[in-house]
Amino acid sequence: MDFFQAYEQISAASLASVYVLYGTETGLMDMFVNRLVEQSPAQRVSRYDYEEDGVEQALLDLDTFSLFAEPTIVLIRNCTAFLSQGKTSGQGDELLAYLSNPAPGRTLVLTAAADKLDERKKITKEAKRHMLIQCQTPKGNIARNYLAREAKRQQIAIDDAAVETLWRKCQTITQCLSELKKLSVYALARTISAADVEKLVPQTIEETVFDWVDHVVQGHVAAAINSLQSLARQGYDALALIAMLVRQIRMMCLAKELSARRVSPEEMAKIGKVHPFAMKVAIRQSGAFSERGLERLLLLAADCEYDIKRGRRDGIHALELLILTASKEAARKEYAG
């Protein structure tokens, strides 16, 4: 089941006996457990790690009845019993036995940080009889909505522009939630702004690359070379940068051609099979170049790639040549206009 569908279905009146959460977004798993705790009568949870603690004490908590504040939810993290490289005997067998006959009135939550579970294992097949929930990175609009809701649940004031900026910088719910805590401490009682996010949240390698491409295609020589030096220090491959630049130039060519036909940006995004925001950026960037100028840049990029692979040209020097040529083509368009 999709995470957000399962999240919306959580109700104090109908908590399931077993939830199995898997995927790369551990932040979503934390959100799910927090929601379960909020909905449970006792609002308590006992936490264990499968690799470190095993399952014996966790299962004892589930099977033991207590008159004094019994834990209604038991969480076992890092449950590698569901994975191909995980333990299959001993504690895995005990857990399998419990899944076959869970205790009434209790809730067991199992998490596994993996893209998929081993379908061949008995314990995975048994888990499918319960709530099996996939926790993967959602699409942007869904992610932003839930980030805003989670901030409200935590009583953190943040405006829409800040949520948008936070998602653009992090691109995972897990990272966003981690940064959100730091931002709330920094902002104290006031509303978190986009400027706060820009100031505190570090720039990712992907964002650095995006800025570099943007500087290049706009002909901003100094900024482009500074970004290039930063990427070089981080060990980014010159051929990979050329490939990203070529991809953006081709998108600009498409934007220029479709703009001449009066195609809307939304339709352009569908035709180019890219996000609407990416296409809007390409439309803006393409205005600085003529069609011939973009063609010349593509040819030069192909030549640079060939020379680098043949050992005829240094990668950084080739990229600097592309930066200078892009600046020249932008200036030529401006002069011609």
Mean pLDDT by 10 residues, the chain (337 residues): 84 84 90 86 83 89 69 87 72 90 90 90 92 88 88 90 89 87 89 92 71 78 83 80 87 90 90 84 86 90 90 87 83 57
In this prediction, residue 280 carries a pLDDT of 87
Mapped onto helix, strand or coil, the DSSP state of residue 97 is helix
Edge-to-edge strand list for the sheet holding 131-134: 45-49, 73-77, 107-112, 18-22, 131-134
pLDDT at position 99 is 93
pLDDT at 19: 95
pLDDT value, residue 328: 83
CA torsion 123→127→129→133, rounded to 10°? -160
Domains of the chain: 3-134 (3.40.50.300), 140-200 (1.10.8), 205-336 (1.20.272.10)
Report whether 98 contacts 108 (CB < 8 A): yes
- CB-based contacts of 246, cutoff 8 Å, min separation 6: 298, 301, 302
For the four alpha carbons of 174, 175, 178 and 179, in that order, the dihedral sign comes to negative
Model pLDDT, residue 286: 86
The pLDDT value given to residue 101: 92
> What pLDDT score was predicted for residue 157?
93
As given in the structure block, the two tokens for residue 10 are 């959580």
